[in-house]
Structure 1
Amino acid sequence: MKNNTASSVKRLVELLIVSLKLGLTSFGGPTAHLGYFHEEYVRKRKWMDEKGYGDLVALAQFLPGPASSQVGIGIGVARAGVVGGLVSFLGFTMPSVVALILFATLLAGSDISEAGWLHGLKIVAVAIVAHAIVGMSKNLTPDVKRKAIALLALVVTLLWQAAFTQVGVIILAGLVGLWLFKVHDTSDAVSSKFLVSKKMGIICLTLFFTLLGMLPLLRELTGSYWVAVFDSFYRSGALVFGGGHVVLPLLEQELVPVGWIGNESFLAGYGATQAVPGPLFTFAAYLGAVMNGWQGGLFATVAIFLPAFLLIVGALPFWDVLRNHPKIKGAVMGVNAAVIGILLSALYKPIWTSSILRAEDFALAAILFSMLTFWKMPPWIVVLVGAIGGTILSIW
């Protein structure tokens, strides 16, 4: 018994150290994170084989939430159970959470509304999202059918900007994908072992849907500010397909119109999030800290990541049946195409409309985009150049 306990503790400590190292060094967004994970967990440590890792990535792409964080949680679960998943999440996430709470704290003591570097960070957001769209569209919309789905998602999300527009588009795209892309190959059916029971999976999935349905009701019944904040961040985390970039319009619609945070501060934080390693969902830590100090930052972080944790832990025990179902692949193809349209919509509004105000702004955005796309520079360098460029433009 002592040997088993010691072995479990050793695994958890090792998992924390490795995930913390990744949390401190994984720049470049979710796709880059998956590359870092593959190198560390599959090639170097051999905690998971190639097929198992590929299937875990596929599951994370299908579920709403931050894909790279869910893959990290899944690897932790495979290594050391549900506690391992939590440890893996904390190690990968907390470095950027701490950095963004500190950034928000520094902003709180100064008037930044007219700061040139702030405008530069807003222009950085244009370059980052445009770069993400270019990279993702090559794989997610390679044919005419999927380009049409992306176009439809773009038009609908631009012209009908309601709270549940994005999730409605995602559902519709999944149904269209089921119809258009009928995949019948079942020769590659496989099985994996994750250290989580079906009972635990059912509990997590039940809790996910209960919170999703009950929080808006509690928000109306209680009128509590903290319930409202938790509801806004939880729903944003629960209804996002396609990664961290897509959470931007959801959070903007939840926080800016009600006056919880100004548009200037919102986009400044989004730009700053690109400068830190780790998942883009930690943008919530910055937003919560601007609204309610460091306690609010931690509160918002828990709220936005909780649905992702519940979903991945809940889905893992049932993943074999899900991934071996041929029709699921068609739905994923449709959903992924819609993600491109949603990203394009977010690129235009609110990012482009509040950032590119004159020719000089567009010139800086083009330079930053080229640094990312053609010269393959690290995002933190692009953010630094954007801040300096914005300062120069302010005195031009």
Structure 2
Amino acid sequence: MKKVVIKKYSEIKNKLKMEITKTSNNDLAHLTHYFQNHTNGVSEYFRPTATSYLSEIHEKLNIVEEPEFQYYLPINWDIPFPPTKKPTFKFVDLFAGIGGIRLAYQNIGGKCVFTSEWDIYSKKTYDANFGEVPFGDITQISETEIPDHDILLGGFPCQPFSIAGVSKKNSLGRAHGFLDETQGTLFFDVARIIEHKKPSAFMLENVKNLVSHDKGKTFKVIKETLTELGYSIHCKVLDGKHFVPQHRERIIIVGFKNSVFEGKEEFNFPDLPEPSRAIREILEPIVDDKYTLSDKLWNYLQEYAKKHKALGNGFGFGMTNLDGISRTMSARYYKDGAEILIPQEGKNPRRLTPRECARLQGFPDKFLIPVSDNQAYKQFGNSVVMPLIQAVGVNIVNEIIRINELKKSEVAVC
């Protein structure tokens, strides 16, 4: 009797009882990465552990079929954002959060071959939308375990680091030069991966304040590190308000590999459209009363604002003009919603709903939100303005394509 091949990803998850927990190691990441990459030349990075883990699952759950991938592949990806079928480039997604940067680069033809994110709730959101469980703490992953790729992407968190003094060598890679000065920070992990994998290009995203941190010394070390690694660096602060109704400035750092581009890249940051969006465009027509601020919280915010106004400070809540744009949404939005409050006739203002937060970052409505409201607020507050990242990505990818075609024509002439 012919065995029935399970094809839907949701059915595979249910049969194998694939659950992301606080005690999960990277086995699920290996398994889902293999499912997504078994035909694109990087499967050897994931197959050994994925095979072993699949055997363990079959034994634990007493599954009748042999633990072979032939019973699970190919997969019908019943998820909002399935892997690109005919990709034109490969990328890795570090400090991935809920996948805002991944979505931008998938939209322009890229295939993600590795992703890393430490937060368990963000992993759940990521898997629900992309059908892939991110690997965990990048500081515990060797650069040798990451597949080759064309573009490295990452919205790395910035911790302060000192230009003086060298911390203990990272056990996963031997630092040298400016890498010494970044040890103990997550930027070090970006640098060691770039040093080992040497992608054609990279794009890093961070808060605007990175540029001025420690009187500019932090940013200076970052740029010098990336330059020493053999890349031509382009930096610019861009505002998400050109794509969404939110004032959100971020520093974007783009690098091109000198040995590939030879300093001939013609990259420019995108010309941004005139801001034309308004908050009312992203609002849901019917909103549950649970998002309306309680009398106690609303009174507290008003008194807090009065106190700081009397002291000459600008701290306080942000009542949003529905025909304008909002302040920057932060990861703390779940606490009181103070930075973006929506006025309501006849009652207290309300905070945005999680779906409205997703829209404020440029995520399409089919993006799933499988976590609690508080976790969703944190996740979207930590994410990126997706269409802004996509606009930058288009210019990076176009430049890679241009250089590749130029090199082909030069070879043809020879």
* TM-score with structure 2 setting the length: 0.29
- Which structure has greater strand proportion? 2
Q: Whose RCO is larger (CA < 8 A, sep 6+)?
A: 1
